[in-house]
Amino acid sequence: MTKSFRNKFLFSSALLSILLTGCGDDNVDNEGTGDVSEDAESDTEESSELSGEITFWTASLSGDPFDGYFEEIKSDFETMHPDVTVNIQDTPQNEMEQRVLTSLTGSDAMDVINLNPHYMANIASQGGLLNMEEYLDDDIGSRFVEGAFEAGYYNDELLALPWYLTTTVSWYNSDHFEMAGVENVPSNMQELYEASSAITEETGNPSFFQIINDGNTIMEKMVTIANGENIVENGEAVFQDNADILEFFDTVQTMYSEGLISQQNAEGSIGAAQELFMNENLSLVEGGITFLGPVESGAPSVYEAAKAGLPLNGDDAPMNIAVMNLAVPTNTEYPETAVAFAEFVLNAENQLEFAELAGTVLPSTVESLEDDYFTDPGDSPKASGMQQGAQALERARVLIPLTENNFELREVTKNTFVEVMIGDISAEEGLNQLAEEWTKSFSNSDIDVSF
């Protein structure tokens, strides 16, 4: 009886497995992805007209006003290429990397992805992104802002094209500045200290916040402060001898100990800074031009008092550019169509329309940036940020190259900076410790890079 039951059970399980497997989608290609280069060649030979069904993943661009915009993009592209079907899907930004990496293990992944450079580096290092150069005109680079276009290169391959950009500006509460009699945005560490002291004395609250994020902002700041001098030479950190970087670390420590910087700064995220700014517990901060997004809805009166200025390190230091890219995964079935669609999304006209809708980003094409919308954006707080950002763009580029050990560098930088800020170690000790860790990381990863 037991044996019979067991046999029946085994037979039923086997049958169920076969049936369930048989339910699989017939369209799914279980044979893997094949060689993309070969696909590209055969596609080119067979037909010059684009075809195929492609999926475009945007990152946190759903709802109003973007749904209508992307519908129009889809419809225009499908009209231009009747054999092409475009699906557009939005993914929450924070999960984009994980989602892309998981999808790449399957055969029904997306064809065009909206990525930030950090995610791009990780996915590219695992061979997940297509070299787009062979599908694009040789002069493609001339259409884009130079620094933004260069951000798409990884190991000398063009793995992404730039979409929308932000760069660093300073944001301040003009009411607080007025109360403290501060007339200009500081342009060096000494001026920053003096301005912050005056404001804190007047408001009774901390006045400055140094955004740290995951350490990347501090790394970028160090390159900006070095102002043309390398902070890493052939895989060896050399910033510990830079007097200006030392002054930056030292001043931040002093400001923290004197209460000019909030204790919440140890967390270091832009969200924490936005919250303090809305609370009026912060008067001055360096951030992207999107900084005011939540402030406008969360603290309307603070938003009205907000103004943008140039970044805090003078008007000639190199600034970082944050680029949102479009990339094409290697396992796309339709590389030509995917690249053509990416190009279409990124043309000057579409980018200008996108930037106008978004309201707090800059386009990456040179032509769109020449539009009145950016040269004369009006006098709203967001517009002032846009104008300052467009100016800073002239000296903006990706300051930290995308190396495999990037995550490690960011982590150790954040930890060390916080240790210095809260006074656990001196600025000098912190920089020496950080330089040692960076050099070790480059050496372990066998990376010979200078920046």
Partner 1 sequence: MKMTKNKILLYLLIIFFVFVTVGPFVFTLLMSLKGPAEGVYTNIFPRDPSLDNYFIAFRQARFDEYLINTVIAVLIAVPLNILFCSLAAYPLARMDFKGKNVILITIIATMAVPFQLFMAPLFNLVGNMGLRNSYIGLIVLQVGTAFGIFLIRQSYLTIPKALEESAYMDGANKFQVWFRIILPMIKPTLITLGIYTFTFTWGDYLWPLINTTDNEMYTLSIGLAQLSQSFDGSNIKLISAASLLTTIPSLAIFIWLQKYFVGTTKGAVKG
Stretch that binds partner 1, among 216-224, 226-234, 274-282, 443-451 (CB under 8 A): 274-282
Contacts of 427 (CB under 8 A, 6+ apart): 246, 249, 250, 253, 420
User: Measured from the CB of residue 450, what is the shortest distance to partner 1 in angstroms?
Assistant: 33
Taking CB under 8 A as the criterion, the residue among 33, 51, 60, 432 binding partner 1 is: 60
34 binds partner 1 (CB under 8 A): no
Minimum CB–partner distance for residue 127 and partner 1 (Å): 15
- Per-residue HEC secondary structure of 71-132 comes to HHHHHHHHHHCCCEEEEEEEECHHHHHHHHHHHHCCCCCCCEEEECHHHHHHHHHCCCECCH
Q: How many residues bind partner 1 (CB under 8 A)?
A: 54
**Rule CB under 8 A: is residue 62 a binding residue for partner 1?**
yes
CB 91 within 8 A of CB 57: yes
125 binds partner 1 (CB under 8 A): no
Instruction: Say whether residue 13 binds partner 1 (CB under 8 A).
Output: no
Kindly give the pairing relationship between strand 112-115 and strand 52-59: parallel
**Nearest to residue 179, comparing CAs of 167, 156, 195?**
195
State how far the Cα of 151 lies from the Cα of 128, in Å rounded to an integer. 17
CA–CA gap between residue 283 and residue 208 (Å, rounded): 6
Q: Binding to partner 1 by residue 20, rule CB under 8 A?
A: yes
CB of 220 to partner 1, least distance (A): 20
- In angstroms, give the least distance from the CB of 192 to partner 1: 24
- Specify whether the CB–CB gap between 100 and 328 falls below 8 A: no
Contact positions with partner 1 (CB under 8 A) in 279-318: 279, 290-295, 297-302
Is residue 127 a contact residue for partner 1 (CB under 8 A)? no
Could you say which residues in the range 254-273 bind partner 1, by CB under 8 A? 271
Instruction: Figure out which of the listed residues 3, 24, 139, 379 binds partner 1, where binding follows CB under 8 A.
Output: 24
Q: Should residue 21 be labelled a site residue for partner 1 when binding is judged by CB under 8 A?
A: yes
CA 282 centroid distance within chain? 24
Phi, psi of 373 (to 5 degrees): -55, -30
* Token representation of residue 62: 């759903």
32 makes contact with partner 1 (CB under 8 A): no
Exactly one of 53, 78, 90, 244 binds partner 1 (CB under 8 A); which one? 90
Query: 25 or 372: whose CB is closer to partner 1?
Result: 25
Per CB under 8 A, 102 contacts partner 1 = yes
Of 4, 30, 48, 79, the residue at the interface with partner 1 (CB under 8 A) is 30
One residue of 89, 257, 375, 443 binding partner 1 per CB under 8 A: 89
| 81 in Cβ contact with 337 (< 8 Å) | yes
Mind giving me the DSSP string for 160-194?
EEEEEEEEEEEEEEHHHHHHHT--S---SHHHHHH
- 358 counts as binding partner 1 under rule CB under 8 A: yes
| Residue from 278, 277, 282, 310 nearest 208 by CA | 282
Span from 124-132, 144-152, 185-193, 359-367 in contact with partner 1 (CB under 8 A): 359-367
- Contact, 316 vs 89, CB < 8 A? no
Q: Using the rule CB under 8 A, which residue among 28, 83, 184, 349 binds partner 1?
A: 28
Site for partner 1 in 374-413 (CB under 8 A): none
Nearest to 187 by CA among 72, 370, 313: 313
Q: Which stretch binds partner 1 (CB under 8 A): 96-104, 172-180, 199-207, 335-343?
A: 96-104
Q: Which amino acid is at 51?
A: S
Under rule CB under 8 A, residue 59 binds partner 1: yes
* Residues found near partner 1 in the complex (CB under 8 A): 20-21, 23-25, 28, 30, 55, 59-64, 87-95, 98-99, 101-103, 105-108, 110, 271, 274-275, 278-279, 290-295, 297-302, 358-361
